Structure formats: C-alpha cells, structure tokens
Amino acid sequence: MFERIREDIQMVYARDPAAKSTLEIFFLYPGLHAIWFYRLANWFWTRNHLFTGRFFSALGRLLTGIEIHPGATIGKRVFIDHGMGVVIGETAIVGEDVLIYQGVVLGGTSLEKKKRHPTIGSGVVIGSGAKIIGDIEIGDCSKVGAGSVVLKSVPNGATVVGIPGRNVNEKRKCAIDLDHGELPDPVAEVIQLILERQDEMEKELRALGISADIIKMNGIMTKKSEIEKKELEDIFAEGAGI
C-alpha cells in the first residue's frame, strides 16, 4: 500500500509542474484522493460488499467532486488533474499512465447490465470537458481534445477533436504531454481554404473585367469591402463561431 502511495506522489511530480512538495500533494490534491477513495471502494465492491463500496464512492465524491463508480477498473499511475466534475461509470476501464482533466465524463449509453462504458488505453490524455460515451475503445497513447465528444472507437496514437470527435492525427507517441488545448481545428482549416480559393477566383474574374462586387459566396461575401473580408478571414482562421 505504501509503495503505491509513493508511486502516486511521484506520478504527480512528473505530470504537474505546480506541485511544490510531498506534503502538498498528499493533503491537497483531490484527484489523488479520489483515486485512493476509489481503491478502497473497489476493494469492498469486488468482495461483494456493494453498499460499503458505494458508500466510500459517495464519500469520495462528496469530498473531491470526482465520481468514480467502485465497479470501474482503473490502472496504475492515473492522474486526475484538478478533477472537479469528472465522472467514471461502472463498466469503464482506464489503463495505466492516463491523464484526465476536469469535467471529463466516461459515460454509458445502455440500460442493460453489460459493458456500456468506454475502455481507455494506456498513455492517453483526455482534455478538459471531454465526453467519451458508450462501449468504445480509445487506443493507447491517444489524445482527446478539450471539449470533444467521442462516440466511436479511436485507434492507437490518434488525436481526436470536435463534436462529434474527428481523428486528425494518428502519429502521437506516448509521452507526458500537457498540451491538450493546442490541437488542430479541421473545420477552421477548411473554411480558410475556401476563403483562399475565393480570393483566387476574384482575381481571375477581375482579370476578365468582371466586378468583384457581384460575386456571391454562400451569401456572406456579397459586396464586402477588403477590410470586412480580412476581418472574416481572421475570425474563421482562429476557429471562432464554429
């Protein structure tokens, strides 16, 4: 038991640059406390003391704001950073060395008593507010972007963003990686390409002597001045309004 606690504290040092001392980590990290409450609750749950298991699970939720069902399966060195609002369902499986941020939900989609929650591989990073729903698999070393909603399985090493989640990269390596907000935005990239293509078309039409004021692009570029168009490009390039 003491060896596991020591391993947990070392894991926090490795994944949280704000950690200052062992004393601080031991007493003031609710994500760590939630894991410890889960282990106690799971010990009773797996020995068929179901009420006691749920009692310690509820107590952990009350004290930490993190709800982990005692029937879930959680691997070693799982770190819940900040953690408020995290929910992990009964049949969820979480591998080793997983980093989970606040507001994450590993939720179920069925009323049947079967595997209905996600399986998270090892080395996965799940960004703030991400929702992973149903009996799906998130492959080893994957990353789920902040605010994403994942409804389909994800291969190893993938990076998933958006609602619903889209796979935008399959080359991520397992690493301690806190950049869960610096992710590509495929929708903004497509809009930027459309705007660039429109510029090319306007230049071609001007070369043919046709006024650019009569060009219509989905109704949003009619009679736009060059200043207005530049503002629109900046907005969509940053992913705003998507």
Give me 92's structure tokens: 């969820």
Instruction: Evaluate if pTM is beyond 0.95.
Output: no
pLDDT digits (tens, 9 = 90+) for 85-144: 999 999 999 999 999 999 999 999 888 888 999 999 999 999 999 999 999 999 999 999
Domain range annotation of the chain: 2-169, 186-237
Which pLDDT value is given to residue 241? 47
Give me 75's structure tokens: 């691997």
Which pLDDT value is given to residue 226? 57
Q: What is the DSSP string of 202-239?
A: HHHHHHTT--GGG--STTSSTT--HHHHHHHHHHHHTT
Closest CA to 99 of 115, 116, 121: 121
Q: Torsions phi, psi of 108, nearest 5?
A: -105, 165
Which pLDDT value is given to residue 204? 77
Which pLDDT value is given to residue 180? 54
**Cα dist. 65→26, 59, 76, 87, 125 in Å?**
17, 10, 21, 9, 20
As beta bridge partners, residue 105 has: 87, 131
The secondary element (H helix, E strand) that includes residue 64 is helix 50-64
Which pLDDT value is given to residue 194? 82
Query: What b/e readout covers 35-57, taking b as 16+ CB neighbours within 10 angstroms?
Result: bbbbbbbbebbeeeeeebbbebb
Which pLDDT value is given to residue 197? 80
Fold of 2-169: UDP N-Acetylglucosamine Acyltransferase; domain 1 (2.160.10)
Which pLDDT value is given to residue 113? 85
Which pLDDT value is given to residue 109? 86
Q: What is the DSSP string of 85-147?
A: T-EE-TT-EE-SS-EE-TT-EEE---SSSS--S-EE-TT-EE-TT-EEESS-EE-TT-EE-TT
Residue ranges in the chain modelled with pLDDT below 70: 175-190, 209-242
Which pLDDT value is given to residue 119? 96
CA atoms within 13 A on the CB side of 181: 4
Q: In terms of C-beta density within 10 A (0-12 exposed, 13-18 middle, 19 or more buried), how is residue 156 classed?
A: middle
